[in-house]
Amino acid sequence: MGPSAGGAVYSPAITDFVFMVRGTAFMYVTGPDIVYSVTKEKVTHDELGGIKPHTTKSGVVHKAFENDVELLHQTREFLGFLPLSNREKAPKVYTSDSDVREDAFLDHVIPPDANMPYDMKHVIKSVVDEGNFFEIMEDWAKNIVVGFGRMSGETVCIIANQPKELAGCLDINASVKAARLIRFANAFNIPVITFVDVPGFLPGTQQENGGIIRNGAKLCFAYAEADVPCITVTTRKSYGGAYCVLKPKHLRGDYCYAWPTAELAVMGPEGAVKILTHGELGNGTVKEKENVYRTKFATPLLTAERGWMDDIIAPRTTRRRIISDLKILKTKKFTPIAAKKIGNIPL
């Protein structure tokens, strides 16, 4: 709610969540005067450590508010999602929202064109209790949506690709953002619900040189070590390495579902056709070859036949299926193969 500078910034930085108030809160290791004396760069308190750099660039701050009253009000609401400690259960809240409610809107949320975006937040709000979704870090790594909701009155952590941003691709920031919240959920015994619509990892030298392998591995590690109830729903597509790291059965996903619109494969139809045909199409156009690949290999039926998908579900039944599974998973117990103090995440 006010300034935090020098070594003092590490006090909030090591806490679970950091909230800031616009205009009065600043965070930086070295202030504007020191920056100017060393680098001759002129920068204001707000430009250096205000809300904009920390919510859109650095990823230090999880949520920003206009004033102290709003921050306190929202913090109280947020604490309602959380347990008092890792030895307590998150509080159950009464809801009038039926456990078996179905939403016909979900049957039509996926556009007919596979390249058209849609807002995954609409899917999330249609599934959680009373549409109440408390999003975290909404202005940083927008290609993935993370936050908290309730299912049948009980807190869940939600991770979801966002097709509206970078087509939902995973990149360095998105991987770190999701991994952080998954580890929090695992530490405090909160179930994780994952909505998947991902064409893969974002390509390019900037991502590779920036360490997408190491940072993508953080997401894989976080999901792999998560022993809380985990349910994954693929809405439209899940390709390649991105499929592998978003809690499929291979990473001990408890229940994995796909909507009928889902496409799951080693790679997307466009790339697959180029590799399989070596540029020589023979009979048929590129589109025709892509449609054959999509129908023959990218169908969720193949994944289900091989046991890597529990069911192909009608979108409108998503809420009912998740709540039913969470009730079954309440007594889930996981015994690690070997006792160890802590996992060595690839930081």
Catalytic residues: 6-7, 241-242
Query: In this structure, is the dihedral angle defined by the CA atoms of residues 335, 336, 337 and 341, taken in order, positive or negative?
Result: negative
Q: Report the DSSP beta bridge partners of residue 194.
A: 159, 232
d(CA 158, CA 161): 10
Q: 210-214: long-range contacts at Cβ-Cβ below 8 A with a sequence spacing of 24 or more?
A: 210/172, 211/172, 212/171, 212/172, 212/175, 214/346
How long is the chain?
347
Q: Report the DSSP beta bridge partners of residue 233.
A: 195, 257
Instruction: Please provide residue 113's backbone torsions phi and psi, each rounded to the nearest 5 degrees.
Output: -85, 120
Residue 240 tokens read as 């390649």
Q: Strand, coil or helix: what is 298?
A: coil
d(CA 276, CA 175): 30
Centroid of chain to Cα 330: 22
Are 234 and 257 in contact by the 8 Å Cβ rule? The answer is yes
Are 125 and 187 in contact by the 8 Å Cβ rule? The answer is no
17 burial (CB, 10 Å; 0-12 / 13-18 / 19+) is middle
